[in-house]
Homo-oligomer: A and B are copies of this chain.
């Protein structure tokens, strides 16, 4: 019997060679009826031990892996949960499923990549929380595993827009810049910043945005910048210190910090108009207590990550004529302004 090829399979089925190839490499791009007919023929053929079958086995799981980040305080974490929801929906629309896993660290995450690629037959991964010197992206690039990151490659010494792997990020610095500018336009001349210790990509970026707005307005920043670990109590402490140095309004790197800061500022400035503290991430808590916050277009980010990863996985089988998603995308955030919900007796 002559060796079965994609060509002979296609001929016997009356479909194009490209269709058979798509069924193997990008099955979601083929109509279900055709896909099932071709898959059935492949399964029936003598192909199992062949390269085509290996490809079939390794490339059509339609499953993407994502690490579920540990729950921190449940306030800031909610942004990642929204991301996961949007990611699952977008993936499903494209014919992919998500496989969840846990890890305690980056190296633990890499061990999971190895394990999952061995046993669970995944097509690729979605990363979150990229940071300086990220060992995960290096490992995935080195092992030629398809992936897309939510977060730009902070460690790249080159222009991140020139880097090797697809990513989507939100321009956090633009968000804190707008937040600070808004407070300056309201008449505040001493706008403080409470952010994380220097050394985290996203944290440094948010600090830089606040600073840009202050410098552009000719305002001093030296004594108005606090580095704190995340959390409600740290926000309250930071606000107390900044207020003692003259700050009348604050931008915070997270809603947890902002929540503590807002409570403290309202204690210190009971007469002041509301809205002197702006948080980051527009979490449910911010909405519930009426805290202004920088909102990330997290659903757009999730959709784009799936689009770019699906495109990556389809590879040369990507049908011409469809729009090619940008491999590197920086999305603008939005400032959500709110009036504090009254928890007081006033």
Contacts and interface: CB of A to CB of B under 8 A. Distances in A.
Interface of A: 48, 62-63, 68, 70-71, 73-75, 77-78, 81-82, 84-85, 88-89, 92, 97-102, 116, 119-120, 232, 256, 259, 262-263, 266-267, 270, 283-285, 287-289, 340-346
B343 A345 contact: no
A interface secondary structure, majority: mixed
B263 A342 contact: yes
A119 B62 contact: yes
A289 B285 CA distance: 9
B74 A283 contact: yes
Given A71-B82, A289-B343, A346-B344, A99 B98 contact: yes
A75 B84 CA distance: 16
Nearest to A262: B343
B84 A68 contact: yes
Contact of A92 (B75, B101, B262, B283): B101
Nearest to A272: B345
6 closest A-B pairs by CB:
A344-B344, A74-B284, A270-B345, A343-B343, A98-B100, A81-B81
A80 to B, nearest CB: 9
A230 to B, nearest CB: 13
Contacts of A74: 78, 81-82, 283-284, 287
14 contacts: A48-B48, A68-B85, A71-B82, A74-B78, A77-B81, A88-B101, A97-B99, A97-B116, A267-B342, A285-B285, A288-B289, A340-B343, A343-B344, A344-B345
Contacts of A232: 288, 341
Contacts of A75: 284-285, 288
B267 A345 contact: yes
A61 to B, nearest CB: 8
Given A78-B78, A343-B262, A345-B344, A97 B101 contact: yes
Contacts of A99: 63, 97-100
